[in-house]
Amino acid sequence: MSRETLDVLVIGGGITGAGISLDAAARGMKTGLVEMQDFAAGTSSRSTKLVHGGLRYLKQYEVGLVAEVGTERAIVYENAPHVTEPQWMLLPLVENGSFGKTSMSFGLKVYDRLAKVKKEEQRFMLNKEKTLEKEPLLRNEGLKGGGVYVEYRTDDARLTLETIKRSIEFGANPVNYARVEDFVYENGKAVAVKVKDTVNNKEYTIYANHIINAAGPWVDTLRKKDGSNFGKHLRLTKGIHLVFDRTRFPLRQATYFDTPDGRMAFAIPRDNKTYVGTTDTVYEADIASPRMTEEDRSYVLEISNYMFPELKLTKEDVESSWAGLRPLIYEEGKSASEISRKDEVFLSETGLISIAGGKLTGYRKMAEKAVDIVAERMNIHAPCPTEHIHLSGGAVDGSSGFDTYVKTQAYLGEQAGLSKDEAEQVIEFYGSNAPNVFAHIKKQKKDIEQAGLPLKLGGQILYALEEEMAVTPLDFFNRRAALLFFGMNEVDKWKEPVLAFMKKKAGWNETQAASFVEELETEIRYAKHTEEEVETESAVLS
Ligand SMILES: Cc1cc2nc3c(=O)[nH]c(=O)nc-3n(C[C@H](O)[C@H](O)[C@H](O)COP(=O)(O)OP(=O)(O)OC[C@H]3O[C@@H](n4cnc5c(N)ncnc54)[C@H](O)[C@@H]3O)c2cc1C
């Protein structure tokens, strides 16, 4: 990238930057993207992992926002059915809750209408008995019934990666571990960025005719560097989630419930885990590493025990957790949860385009807005094409053909030595890229076995290293394989041989290996414990 002048350089490899990279490249623009950490290591691996229209925004009368992101759900699903799946959501109707019976029934109907939901996925209402049949763990006291409607569950980091990978197929050049340190100006216009490769400590200058700042919670940090942080600015709010094993929290039905303090939270089953969240508190500390505090954990345990009182969950039941920052647009006089989730574009005199706010769900539309501005400046008349571009791994005969695709392709995994179940799991996770994972297993079976690793895990590591730009073990365990949050027991069990295997395959030197291991261990500690617990433990050790 430093050898040519790009049409567009995107700063930030979260879902917003990924979407822009795909949109711009698909419109024929020479596109580059730099991400200072791993792809999706910012907010885009730390969300509630739902592609949703935001039912609660209806209460704030944000009809336009609900309609726009609501209709996006079906598009995101269709373009990547291996990353997104429909999830029936139960909304318990409770005494003094957010919704009365009529407003819930009406609200859900409006929601379905705005989001143009298909007939078979439209909402239905339940009486108390039927609601308890759906989810027997629910609080009985004050329960009057429920509404059931469809949302979509996703893996945010994988959605980001699949978008990034697809943009590469259109000629884009995204790189991770490349931090923008400064802008370069000519005649008052931003014409290039100075970038540091944080793995090899090299510096580059990348010239681009148009620079888009999609740095999520860091958008204002870059606007400050650009001298254009005027007017509206960001307000960061933190949200945390707790993960429990399904044996301890056997939730049958995803539930969106009222909390005693007048907020709403999700409890969602995922494989053999259940996760609950989230909090929404104003955040002003270090942006790169928001942590779960004692207060955050107590709050989520409290609301879980309130809605599912039989469980009596304690901190010992928390298997993993994560904390993320919402990059919201500040609104005078509004509390954290009242601030709109709308996105906003800021145009600087220097030519820098910044885009922030919004949601994972609306990433395609956000990308369209940013790329439309570039297209206009370039005088290109190419409409946004991404509605009909499947993401990487999404060539699976559409959402309706995906189940058959999984069944008919599984033999390829079996040929590589996996069991049928394992082969199907790989296809469900990687979609039409699964044959590449199988090919790695076939080619390096001996090495994987010698490393003492299961074939499936070995194949995933090789695929992550060779085809998904994973650099560190944390990149693998967190953003490539989703194990740090939903498979902590797997992480504990396999981390030693995985580290040895990755070191050998990626050729880390001893210093790199030591720092990568340290990073992984730190993140495991923070996923299992609160910030206070980790600090106390570190103080005792030192
Ligand atoms: C707790 C929580 C729950 C949420 N739940 C949902 C949900 O269920 N559904 C939904 O639709 N949305 C949800 N959201 C919102 C959604 O996650 C965010 O809107 C979205 O992920 C933001 O993506 P982004 O790309 O703008 O930011 P990010 O993902 O943070 O990406 C910005 C990237 O820019 C990089 N960067 C910053 N500075 C530089 C630099 N100088 N050089 C190079 N790179 C740089 C960062 O490292 C980062 O990776 C949730 C958010 C939170 C916090």
Length of the chain: 542
Is 403 within 8 Å of 410 (Cβ atoms)?
Answer: no
pLDDT at 68: 78
Q: How far apart are CA 337 and CA 281, in angstroms?
A: 8
Is 31 within 8 Å of 173 (Cβ atoms)?
Answer: yes
Ligand 1 centroid to 407 CA: how many Å?
Answer: 34
Dihedral of the CA atoms 103, 108, 110, 116 (nearest 10)?
180
What is the separation, in whole angstroms, between the first and last Cα of the chain? 44
pLDDT at 114: 83
At 181, list the tokens: 């340190």
Pocket test residue of 23, 47, 197, 291 for ligand 1, highest count of atoms within 8 A of CB: 47
Ligand 1 centroid to 347 CA: how many Å?
Answer: 20
List the one residue out of 439, 436, 396 whose CA is nearest residue 417.
Answer: 439
Dihedral of the CA atoms 25, 30, 36, 41 (nearest 10)?
0
Strands (E), 156-245: 173-175, 178-186, 189-197, 202-213, 234-245
List the one residue out of 350, 348, 330, 347 whose CA is nearest residue 339.
Answer: 330
Residue owning the nearest CA to atom 21 of ligand 1 = 44
SS3 of the chain: helix, strand, coil, percent, to 5: 45, 25, 30
Helix/strand/coil for 196: strand
At 108, list the tokens: 């859900």
Residue owning the nearest CA to atom 31 of ligand 1 = 14
Residue owning the nearest CA to atom 4 of ligand 1 = 47
Q: How far apart are CA 537 and CA 539, in angstroms?
A: 5
Residue owning the nearest CA to atom 19 of ligand 1 = 359
List the one residue out of 13, 286, 330 whose CA is nearest residue 175.
Answer: 13
pTM over 0.95: yes
Ligand 1 centroid to 342 CA: how many Å?
Answer: 14
Q: How far apart are CA 525 and CA 135, in angstroms?
A: 32
Ligand 1 centroid to 414 CA: how many Å?
Answer: 37
At 69, list the tokens: 């992101």
Ligand 1 centroid to 170 CA: how many Å?
Answer: 23
Pocket test residue of 21, 39, 44 for ligand 1, highest count of atoms within 8 A of CB: 44
The pocket around ligand 1, CB under 6 angstroms, is made up of 11-17, 34-37, 41-44, 46-50, 52, 179-180, 214-218, 222, 239, 278, 324-327, 358-361
Q: Angle between the 63-79 and 101-114 helix axes, to the nearest 10 degrees?
A: 60
At 153, list the tokens: 């569950």
Q: How far apart are CA 150 and CA 116, in angstroms?
A: 12
Phi-psi region of 227 (alpha: psi -120 to 50; beta: other; left: phi over 0): left
Verify cis geometry, omega within 30 degrees of 0, for the bond prior to 278: yes
Residue owning the nearest CA to atom 27 of ligand 1 = 216
List the one residue out of 414, 510, 503 whose CA is nearest residue 455.
Answer: 414
Is 114 within 8 Å of 66 (Cβ atoms)?
Answer: yes
Single-letter code of the amino acid located at 346: F
Residue labelled with tokens 């509004």: 334
Residue labelled with tokens 């340190």: 181
List the one residue out of 324, 322, 325, 326 whose CA is nearest residue 358.
Answer: 326
Q: Any alpha helices (H) in 416-487, and if so which ranges?
A: 420-430, 434-443, 445-450, 455-467, 473-474, 483-486
Ligand 1 centroid to 395 CA: how many Å?
Answer: 26
Is 473 within 8 Å of 517 (Cβ atoms)?
Answer: yes
Ligand 1 centroid to 155 CA: how many Å?
Answer: 13
Ligand 1 centroid to 322 CA: how many Å?
Answer: 14
Pocket test residue of 9, 22, 43, 292 for ligand 1, highest count of atoms within 8 A of CB: 43
Greatest alpha-carbon span in the chain: 70
At 525, list the tokens: 């500690």
pLDDT at 275: 98
Mean per-residue pLDDT pooled into runs of 10, the chain (542 residues): 97 98 98 98 98 76 76 92 95 91 87 85 94 97 95 96 98 98 98 96 97 98 95 94 98 96 95 96 94 98 98 98 94 71 92 94 96 97 96 96 97 98 98 98 98 98 98 98 97 97 96 95 98 92 79
Helix/strand/coil for 344: strand
Cβ burial of 542 (10 Å; 0-12, 13-18, 19+) is exposed
Single-letter code of the amino acid located at 264: M
Pocket test residue of 237, 360, 364 for ligand 1, highest count of atoms within 8 A of CB: 360
Ligand 1 centroid to 15 CA: how many Å?
Answer: 7
Is 367 within 8 Å of 22 (Cβ atoms)?
Answer: yes
The sign of the CA dihedral 55, 57, 61, 65 is negative
Q: Which own/partner pairs from 418-421 qualify as long-range (CB within 8 Å, at least 24 positions apart)? A: 418/455, 418/456
Q: How far apart are CA 328 and CA 307, in angstroms?
A: 28
Single-letter code of the amino acid located at 282: V
Atom of ligand 1 nearest to the CA of 37: 47
